[in-house]
Structure 1
Amino acid sequence: MVKLSVPGIPKSLSPLPSSPPIPIPQAVERVSAFLSPGNAVVLTGAGVSVDSGIRAYRGHDGRYLNPNYKPIFYQELVDPTPTGHLFRQRYWSRSYLGYPPVRDALPNPIHYSLAALQHTGHCRSLITQNVDGLHKKASPSEEVRRRILELHGTLFIVHCKHGHTWDRDSYQERLEALNPLWQPLAEKVGRELRRNPDGDVEVEGMDFASFNIPPCERCAADGVNETVIKPNVTFFGESIHEPLKDQSYRLVEEASRMLIVGTTMATYSAFRLIRHALGLDKPVLLLNVGPTRADSLPAVEKIELPAGDVIRNVAQALCATEAQTDPVLRTLLTSGVVRAAKTGDRGAG
């Protein structure tokens, strides 16, 4: 049996001695100079969505904010046995409760500022580990959306094991219709119930076995009761699909430099992109609070400040002149709702 574990920051990196953070104006000047040549690729993590009210997984020390967090692994979710069905009942009951706040979340100034930098070409492409769709919500055009790669997938698409896909909103309606007794719990999300970045909500004392999972309707039309259903996201223990992996490498190769924002890079799918960039002798700049997996790489320049304190000012510095004649850019530079998550953490991913 293969032993699986939740990825984290290597113990040798936590805690790390850190130099005092540089002043914000100096950080803005440095990031602006880094991006000014254009053609950068940006890699983002959960830290960029905290100001949209979506919790980060990890705190400033790189450890999970909830030390008792026990995610469901891919092998458990797709297990066709009755035991696997219980895992799916646990997952979908908690996801049913946590999906609406993620669905309704709005992009914050970081998302819009990065969209502005894509719009002007300072950032050629963006790779995100987030599954909340906020980068695409902030995008001003389909052309910009095409240059956003959701490395770990999206919560907004659902599929069965036979490859039938449909939108999550319609599946949410079916979940609600089949589970009316769970509706009162939904009103407690964000107050009494804790929500994770992937929409999973921690529920104690509930009988998950009572939760009904709607089967795939297309399979049902063929006389098959298929309840092995999962969102189109990469679970712990699941590999990134090869086309996505190849595309992420290609975006790094096409860019002249890499900017990393709001992530500890605990997952190897992100860390290997940094190593790939360094292997190609591309400059790499990291903006994050707390230890990261990249701290062991001396070629990575690090600025230890929250992204929200820096990125919007960078976008203003680089795009203000062009915004005078570009109404789309003016809107991007002044958009964004800040609704900070109750975590005390604004920088880690």
Structure 2
Amino acid sequence: MRVSVPTIPHTVVSSGVPIPPAEAIERISTFLRPGNVAVLTGAGVSVDSGVKAYRGKDGRYMNPNYKPIFYHQLMENGPRGHAYRQRYWLRSYIGYPPVRDTLPNTTHFAIAALQHSKNVINLITQNVDGLHHKAVKHVWDSRTVQDSILELHGTLHRVHCKFGHGFDRDQFQEWLGDANPEWKAYMDDMEKTGQKPKTNPDGDVALEGVSYDNYVVPGCPGCLSEGRRNNVIKPDVIFFGESIGQEVRDRSYRIINECDRLFIIGTTLATYSAFRLLKHAMELKKPVLLLNVGPTRADSIPGIDKIEIPSGQILREVVRNVLGTRATYDPSIREMLESGIVDPPTDEGYGDGTQANAPLNAVAAAAARGP
């Protein structure tokens, strides 16, 4: 299945009714307590880490003029494809550091505690920010992380070329800087001043008045060692118009097949790749609980229990309620429940102390012109 630009019917109106936090905690605890739960998360779980949701206030999908780069455009050979890659990698070069440096919030750690206690067996996330991984990296080995967290739409933290050579994104970020010294100087100045761009959840930054014509996308060293030149390189993220790999698709369905119930957090389910997992759970008559603020694609489906309250307000208390004394005596779980930032994005930017892109654009334009 190819991923298309997410939509929610305009006729959908949120069916959730605000309830007191204590009632929400008890309802979610009752749902989770039997165990063998699968969790599906979306951009809403990362909001308290300073990441704007796609459909929140000023989210990019709320902009009727939003035009993403499609997979075929990014991977196209010839001058037109090269121009798309220049645009993508310049914007991503600026936008990646805020994503890379973002910290998991209380919701990430609460979910990690539920996984560590085995109440939640598997986590499927639509997010590409890697924050679920950060919440467990000090507790689990890499194999356990890989087996327990499925990134449905990939990750920003890895890169590959069209011939399959893979790189760590931090390494590729250095290559981008070395190939574009003016932009590296611009990024160094931003770091010194503490200025951050207004970054979307996929690491993209909107720039106006900037020419991409002189931006250099470095070639793949793996291809060069094999005697070919190639700079058709993309992050390990599923782009619109790109198909989710068969292995990931099969594993996502297997997780739904093997769980007893499905807990959905922080997503409108506008992307069909996630919505179809909900549909599959309903076909198998699995209980589904949806925790999200605002309308979702599932609101008109009968039989889905929905709670409207921010996950950061209640989820740690849910874990304590479900685990009882273990939440106190298990040092790993206790640490998780004491961890996590709460730094929602401001109207102007990305998390605390950030600034809007308007002043960035003038400086960026100067960087684009070079000396």
**1:223 to partner: Cα distance:** 2.1
Stretch moving more, 138-147 or 114-123: 138-147
Task: Please list the CA deviations of residues 87-111 of structure 1 after superposition, one character each: whole Å capped at 9, or x if unmatched.
Answer: 0000000000000111111110100
Q: Work out the CA distance in 1 between the residues paired with 2:218 and 2:63.
A: 30
Q: Work out the CA distance in 2 between the residues paired with 1:102 and 1:24.
A: 30
Closer, same or farther: CA 230–19 of 1 in aligned 2, 3 Å? closer
Q: Work out the CA distance in 2 between the residues paired with 1:19 and 1:154.
A: 31
Counterpart of 2:335 (choices 324, 331, 336) is 331
**1:144 to partner: Cα distance:** 4.6
Unaligned runs of 5+ in 1: none
Contact residue 14 and residue 296 of structure 2 kept, 8 A: no
1:293 aligns to what SS in structure 2?
coil
Counterpart of 1:127 (choices 124, 127, 148) is 124
Q: Work out the CA distance in 2 between the residues paired with 1:343 and 1:145.
A: 35
Closer, same or farther: CA 281–19 of 1 in aligned 2, 3 Å? closer
**1:180 to partner: Cα distance:** 1.8
**1:343 to partner: Cα distance:** 4.6
Query: Residue in 2 aligned with 1:36?
Result: 33
Matching of residues 160-179 of structure 1 within 5 Å: 160-179=161-180
Contact residue 289 and residue 306 of structure 2 kept, 8 A: yes
Instruction: Determine if the alignment matches structure 1 residue 57 to structure 2 residue 54.
Output: yes
Task: Please list the CA deviations of residues 187-237 of structure 1 after superposition, one character each: whole Å capped at 9, or x if unmatched.
Answer: 559967421101101111111111100111010112211111000010011
**1:62 to partner: Cα distance:** 8.8
Q: Work out the CA distance in 2 between the residues paired with 1:84 and 1:319.
A: 52
Contact residue 8 and residue 63 of structure 1 kept, 8 A: no
Q: Work out the CA distance in 1 between the residues paired with 2:169 and 2:160.
A: 9
Instruction: Determine if the alignment matches structure 1 residue 276 to structure 2 residue 280.
Output: yes
* C-alpha RMSD over aligned residues: 2.1
Q: Aligned letter for 1:209?
A: D
Stretch moving more, 176-185 or 129-138: 176-185
Q: Work out the CA distance in 2 between the residues paired with 1:303 and 1:147.
A: 25
Q: Work out the CA distance in 1 between the residues paired with 2:215 and 2:342.
A: 34
Q: Work out the CA distance in 2 between the residues paired with 1:31 and 1:67.
A: 35
2:40 aligns to what SS in structure 1?
strand
Percent of aligned positions with the same letter in both sequences? 55
Q: Work out the CA distance in 2 between the residues paired with 1:344 and 1:175.
A: 27
2:160 aligns to what SS in structure 1?
strand
Instruction: Determine if the alignment matches structure 1 residue 294 to structure 2 residue 298.
Output: yes
Contact residue 129 and residue 151 of structure 1 kept, 8 A: yes
Task: Please list the CA deviations of residues 213-262 of structure 1 after superposition, one character each: whole Å capped at 9, or x if unmatched.
Answer: 01110101122111110000100111111100000000011100000000
Matching of residues 43-122 of structure 1 within 5 Å: 43-59=40-56, 64-122=61-119
**1:73 to partner: Cα distance:** 0.6
1:263 aligns to what SS in structure 2?
coil
Query: Residue in 2 aligned with 1:27?
Result: 24
Counterpart of 1:262 (choices 240, 263, 266) is 266
2:61 aligns to what SS in structure 1?
coil
**1:11 to partner: Cα distance:** 1.9
Q: Work out the CA distance in 1 between the residues paired with 2:208 and 2:57.
A: 27
Q: Aligned letter for 1:112?
A: F
Residues matched between the structures, number: 340
Q: Work out the CA distance in 1 between the residues paired with 2:213 and 2:126.
A: 31
Stretch moving more, 260-269 or 315-324: 315-324
Q: Work out the CA distance in 2 between the residues paired with 1:71 and 1:11.
A: 21
**1:68 to partner: Cα distance:** 3.4
1:260 aligns to what SS in structure 2?
strand
TM-score (norm 2): 0.87
Q: Work out the CA distance in 2 between the residues paired with 1:133 and 1:308.
A: 18
TM-score (norm 1): 0.92
Contact residue 152 and residue 240 of structure 1 kept, 8 A: yes
Contact residue 283 and residue 300 of structure 1 kept, 8 A: yes
Q: Work out the CA distance in 1 between the residues paired with 2:294 and 2:200.
A: 19
